Amino acid sequence: MAIYLLSIEEVKKIINDMEVMYSNINLIDHVKYRIKSPESIINKMNKKHYNLNYKDLIEKINDIAGIRIICPFQENVYVVRNLLIRNPKIKVLNEKDFIKKPKPSGYACLHLIIEVPVKSKFGEVYVKAEVQIRTMAMDFWSSIEHELKYKNKNVTKHASKRLIKAAKQIRKLDYEMSVLANETR
C-alpha cells in the first residue's frame, strides 16, 4: 500500500500547486484522500469475479488510491479536470463523465483514472489513482446515497426512487447556482 500512499502524495502536490496558481478564483472547496481498505478491495474483486491475486489487484483495481476533489460549481469541475489532464506528470488512462451522462442512480461526477510517477526502491514507477471531481451539492448527495445504498444496505424501492429524485433536484440546484453566480459576476 506504501506505493499508493506515495501516489496520493504526488497528486496532493499537483493539486496544491494548482490551488496556489489559481488562488484568485475559488476553484476547489476541499480535497479528500483515501486508501481503499483491504476489505473493500476484496469485496470489489469478488463482485467483479477477479482472481484474488496481486496481478489482478494491480492491473484491475484502479481506485486503491482515491482522491476526491470537491468544487463549488460544475464549471470548476471541468477547469480542474483540464488542469489535471494537461499536467505533464499525469497520464490519463481512462475518463468517465457521469456529469454529462449521470448514472441511473442519479450520480453525477467526473472520474479520471490516472498514473503518476513515484520514486520507489526499484526506481521510478507509475502508480494508478482514481480522481473523482464533483460539486459540493453532488458530494452531499453522493455521501449520503453511498452510505444508504451503494454499499448494499436495505433500501426499499420507494426510497431508491426518492434518492433518484433527490439527485435530479441536486443537479437542478447545481445548474441554478451556476447561473446565479455567473449573473452576479
Shortest gap between Cβ of 11 and ligand 0O2 (angstroms)?
15
CA distances, 66 to each of 15, 39, 56, 161, 170 (Å)? 13, 15, 18, 28, 24
The residues, ordered by sequence, that sit 6+ positions from 152 with a Cβ below 8 Å of its Cβ are none
- Output 101 or 185, the one with its CB closest to ligand 0O2: 101
Give strand pairing partners of 68: 32, 132
Of 4, 28, 64, 66, the residue at the interface with ligand 0O2 (CB under 6 A) is 66
Q: Does 63 bind ligand 0O2 (CB under 6 A)?
A: yes
List the interface residues with ligand 0O2, window 31-50 (CB under 6 A).
36, 40, 44
Of 62, 87, 160, 178, the residue at the interface with ligand 0O2 (CB under 6 A) is 62
**Spatial separation of the C-alpha atoms in residues 107 and 9, rounded to whole Å:** 27
Chain mean position to CA 154: 25
- Output 22 or 42, the one with its CB closest to ligand 0O2: 42
67 within 8 A of 132, measured Cβ to Cβ: yes
> Which residues contact ligand 0O2 (rule: CB under 6 A)?
36, 40, 44, 62-63, 66, 96, 103, 105, 107, 111, 142, 145-146, 150
